[in-house]
Structures are given as C-alpha cells and as structure tokens.
Structure 1
Amino acid sequence: MTDFGGKFFWYELMTSDPQAALAFYGDVLGWTSQPFGGERTDDPYHVVSGSAGAVGGVMAIPAEAKDCGMAPWWGGYMGSADVDADGQRLSAAGGKVMRPAEDIAGVGRFAVMADPGGALFMLLKGSSDEGMEAASPMAPGHVGWHELYAGDFDKDLAFYTGQFGWTTGDAMDMGEMGSYQLVSQTGGGDFQDMTGGIMPCPKEMPRPAWLFYFVVEDIDVAVEKVKAGGGTVLNGPTEVPGGGWIIQASDPQGAMFAAVGSKGEA
C-alpha cells in the first residue's frame, strides 16, 4: 500500500454537465467510469479509472457552490494522516482553511485548503485502512505531471517544500515569465524523480491554480479528440525536456486540464 501523505493521489472534476464530461474524457483519455458504490442515483459521484486503476471522480457542482459562482474546475486531493491537525499546521505556515474538516460517509475526512498564493487543494484521510497503489509513471489515463501557477512564487515554494517535504530539482529560466522550478513529491532529487513544477501565475490565468497533466499515448491523437469532442486546445503541442509533448486545454464545460504524451506512438 502506497503512503500518499503530502502527495496528490486523487483528482476531482466538478462540472456543470457530468455525463457530457464523462463522455469527453472517456474518449480523450480512455477512461472508464462507474457510480460510486455502484449505486445509480439522479446525481451520482462517478469514479473514473485509467489503465492502472482509479484516478478520481466526476460530480456536478453543488447547488450552493454554483450559487456562489463556481465554474467547472479540476481539484486535487493530498493524503493526510490527520486532516484537522494538518489544517491547523498549514494555516500557521501561511495557508488558509477554505472549508473546515468534515466527514464524507464511506469515504473519509476532508478539508479544502489554499496555499499562501491562493491556489486550492484538498486534504483527505480515508475511512478505511485499505489504500490505493500508485500508478506506474506515465500510465495512460493517470496524472503524469502537476503544475502550480503560483500566486506567490517564493512563499508557495517554501510552503510545499517545508510543509510536505517536497524536494526541488533544477530551475529553468523562462525570461519574463520568471522561473520554472521542478519539484518532487517523492523526495528524489534527480530529473526522473520530478513530479511537477511551480511557476509564477501567468497573466492569462484568471487566478492561481494547480493544473494536472493526464497521460495520453499520442498527443496528436489527443488534440484531435479534444477538438472533435467540443473542447479547446489552449496551447501546444509543445515539446518538453525528456522527449514528451504537452498541451493545455479546456473541456466543453470550461474546466482547464492538460495532457502529456508522445508523438506518433498511438
């Protein structure tokens, strides 16, 4: 069983049209899905799976959140041994509790947090001792890279490395866009250990946020499927160090996501 403490391990889409989103991502990322617990209700939580098992969930935006203006978005959950204590600890370190810890029946205890720059993430402690196994690197349909558009680059970098034990790799100079700092959630320092990057929030982004890169087998095929499914390719394909290719995109409901893969290997 993998220890997910301080690491992203579950990804959740809140959307205005769950069924349409499931169809879109099923085609683009090859996901399968089923209602949580196998129960079909009028508004179920759908668990989505990639090539190596469950990835996360898709649900409708709650009515109260929709009334407050919430738009479709992808969020990430980090493992926590004690959600209440971690919320207090992270608040003292410059973060903020956006939604206090509460229980989800049959799932566990969670809280919504913001880092010092304002990007949201969630903490989760499962209600069962049974855990997930981490997917192998670059498993199709799973998250292969985590990218933070930081509202406060220096404070956010110190926050994640200091509070979660993440380590840093090389930093790449992006000119006027600032520095792109490679980070590892697993504690390694070599390039192959890196699991994401932190960069200053670009002016094109409406707010600081985490962006998750889902693995596809062929980036060009993914581009065509995004377009055919009613999504929008915002940037790319762009080659990145290590020989991979990436795109940033939005789904038909407007949630931003990204994909990483190879070229010509479908």
Structure 2
Amino acid sequence: MTDPADRGAFIWYELITDDVAAARTFYRNVVGWEIAAEGQPLPTGGTYRMIARSDGGNAGGVLDMSAEMTAAGARPGWIGYVHHSDVDAAVKAVIDAGGAVHMPPMDMPGVGRMAMVADPQGATFYVMAPTPPEGDPDARSDVFDYAKAQHMRWNELWTTDPDAAVSLYRDLFGWTQEGAMPMGPMGDYKFIQHGGDGIGAIAKAQPGGEGSRWQYFAGVDDIDRACRAVTDSGGTLLGEPQQIPGGEYSAYAHDPSGATIGLVGPRKET
C-alpha cells in the first residue's frame, strides 16, 4: 500500500465509543457489521476491536474509550484515515496551512505510521502510511466503496471555509473538485474526487450546527429497514431519508452513544 497512487485514499474508519456493547447491537442491526466481542488492549489505554463485514472483509475498527480519554474531553464519534506515504511531510503541510496536531506521528508495529491532525477549520482526521500485511505487499484497502453496502460509501466535510478546504485537501492528497449541487442559502455542495472517482463532498458548515467536521456514510441494503433499526436499537434518527442524485436515499443518525453516522442505500419497500 505504498504506491503513490494510493495517496488520498480513505483506507480505514474508526468508531470511538464509550459503550461497545450498545455499538455492537446497533451497527449489527443497522448496517450488518459484526464488531468483535473481545478487544485488544492498547498501550495508550482502552481496547481495539475490528468491525467485520458479512463478506469476510473489515469495515474498520472500534476504539473503546479509556477513562483518560474521557477525562481529556474525548467524545464518541467516527474518524477517517487517509493514505499518505510521508506522514511527517503531511503533518508539516497541515501545520503550515494553519491546522493543528492532536497526535504527533508515531509508528504502530505491524500497522504503520500515523498522526491525528485537524485542518485549519478544525475538522479532524488521521494521515497514515500503512504497513502491508505480511506476504501481501500489494494489498489495497477496500473499506471505502462508492456502491456497496457494509462499506463506507461517502465522505462529507462540513467546514467554515469550503474554498480553503478544497485548496488544502487538493494540495495534501491530490483530490480534485469537479461539480457542485446548489443548496440555496447553504451554498454549494462541492463534489470531490480521488483518482477521478467520487469520494464525497465539501460544504459550508451552518451556524448553530456542529461546526467543521468530517461526516461518513455507511452503505445499507435498504434505507427504510436501516432507519427502523436505528430507533429499535437505541439510536436517534435525524430526519427522514432524503432522495439523492442517482435515485438512492440517505439519512443521518446518532448511535446510542451519540456518534453521528450517515446511512445511504436503496429504498426497497413501497
């Protein structure tokens, strides 16, 4: 996973939660994921669990918040990992642009080198140079797939300065920005691409909202079934499903701990 063409790919997603048991039930019922029952202890505190898809692949990981993390102000949420072969150079570029470092570059044996940063508007993400699995040097992450259920399908950045964000991420990861959907007083919903393929959008964060942040959308097999499962499994549906270009539907939800997750998929029921 060291090919320069991988720069800018979303290669991992991580749920930070204070209630793993509730998360296991919620994401199993809503998305179809299976979060491992047992976690691996981390030297920094907490435990780490893999999220398995029904096809045998992984969808990401779950970090069980430690008491120290909670005391430091951490709260439940999702965070994405973006590939960059030179993590230190990527961190410097973020700092030079006016961003911040929440976790300096560090090596995780067998995993890779990574750092947690925030762009100048405050949206947080990881940059990572992953270590390929033993015996498979050409491995590629498949946690993101624009079209498939049980994969992350869309990456949405809400930011106080969309133009600055487009410029930063273009320079940092080589993304392009082509096309936009007007949203009236909210401004344009600017589509972004990696290697020519659509991966998400950048839009203006609205006053009174959650500020600058990345928002991720999980693919589901049936949007209506998934939305019912949200409320049946202790979550909160944030509005009704809305039709999106292409004919599918999307919705936002909070899981039982308050982490926001987007859902996208077809409407199978009439």
Give 1:108 shift: 1.8
Secondary structure, counterpart of 1:194 in structure 2: strand
1:178-217, aligned counterparts within 5 Å? 178-186=187-195, 188=196, 193-217=197-221
- Are 1:141 and 2:150 an aligned pair? yes
Given that 2:145 and 2:153 are in contact with CA atoms closer than 8 Å, whether structure 1 keeps it comes out as no
Give 1:136 shift: 4.6
Secondary structure, counterpart of 1:195 in structure 2: strand
Structure 1 residue identity aligned to 2:36 = Q
| Equivalent position to 1:20, from 19, 22, 26 | 22
* Structure 2 partner of 1:6: 8
Structure 2's unaligned 5+ residue stretches are none
* Structure 2 partner of 1:247: 251
* Structure 2 partner of 1:78: 82
1:96-245, aligned counterparts within 5 Å? 96-128=100-132, 130=137, 131-134=139-142, 136-186=145-195, 188=196, 193-245=197-249
Give 1:265 shift: 6.5
Q: Distance in 1 between matches of 2:106 and 2:141?
A: 25
Given that 2:146 and 2:199 are in contact with CA atoms closer than 8 Å, whether structure 1 keeps it comes out as no
Give 1:77 shift: 0.4
When residues 20 and 94 of structure 1 are mapped into structure 2, their CA distance, relative to the original with a 3 A threshold, is: same
Give 1:5 shift: 1.9
| Equivalent position to 2:92, from 70, 88, 108 | 88
Structure 1 residue identity aligned to 2:160 = G
Structure 1 residue identity aligned to 2:203 = M
After alignment, is 18-27 or 84-93 more displaced? Answer: 84-93
* Structure 1 partner of 2:48: 45
Q: Distance in 2 between matches of 1:72 and 1:211?
A: 13
Give 1:7 shift: 1.8
Given that 1:117 and 1:153 are in contact with CA atoms closer than 8 Å, whether structure 2 keeps it comes out as no
After alignment, is 121-130 or 81-90 more displaced? Answer: 121-130
Give 1:94 shift: 3.5
Q: Distance in 2 between matches of 1:225 and 1:161?
A: 37
For residues 158-210 of structure 1, the C-alpha deviation after alignment (integer angstroms, 9 at most, x for no partner) is 11122211111211221111111011122x2xxxx321010011234222111
TM-score (norm 2): 0.88
Given that 1:9 and 1:79 are in contact with CA atoms closer than 8 Å, whether structure 2 keeps it comes out as yes
Given that 1:226 and 1:232 are in contact with CA atoms closer than 8 Å, whether structure 2 keeps it comes out as yes
Q: Distance in 2 between matches of 1:63 and 1:40?
A: 14
When residues 98 and 240 of structure 1 are mapped into structure 2, their CA distance, relative to the original with a 3 A threshold, is: same
Structure 1's unaligned 5+ residue stretches are none
Give 1:117 shift: 1.1
Secondary structure, counterpart of 2:153 in structure 1: strand
- Are 1:262 and 2:266 an aligned pair? yes
Q: Distance in 2 between matches of 1:149 and 1:51?
A: 31
Structure 1 residue identity aligned to 2:207 = K
Q: Distance in 2 between matches of 1:119 and 1:257?
A: 16
| Equivalent position to 2:35, from 22, 33, 36 | 33
Aligned-residue CA RMSD (Å): 2.4
Secondary structure, counterpart of 1:226 in structure 2: helix
Question: Which stretches of structure 1, 4 residues or more, deviate above 6 A after TM superposition?
Answer: none
For residues 4-26 of structure 1, the C-alpha deviation after alignment (integer angstroms, 9 at most, x for no partner) is 32121200011111122122101
Aligned residues: 260
Secondary structure, counterpart of 2:221 in structure 1: strand
Given that 1:35 and 1:45 are in contact with CA atoms closer than 8 Å, whether structure 2 keeps it comes out as no
- Are 1:66 and 2:89 an aligned pair? no
After alignment, is 197-206 or 251-260 more displaced? Answer: 197-206
TM-score (norm 1): 0.89
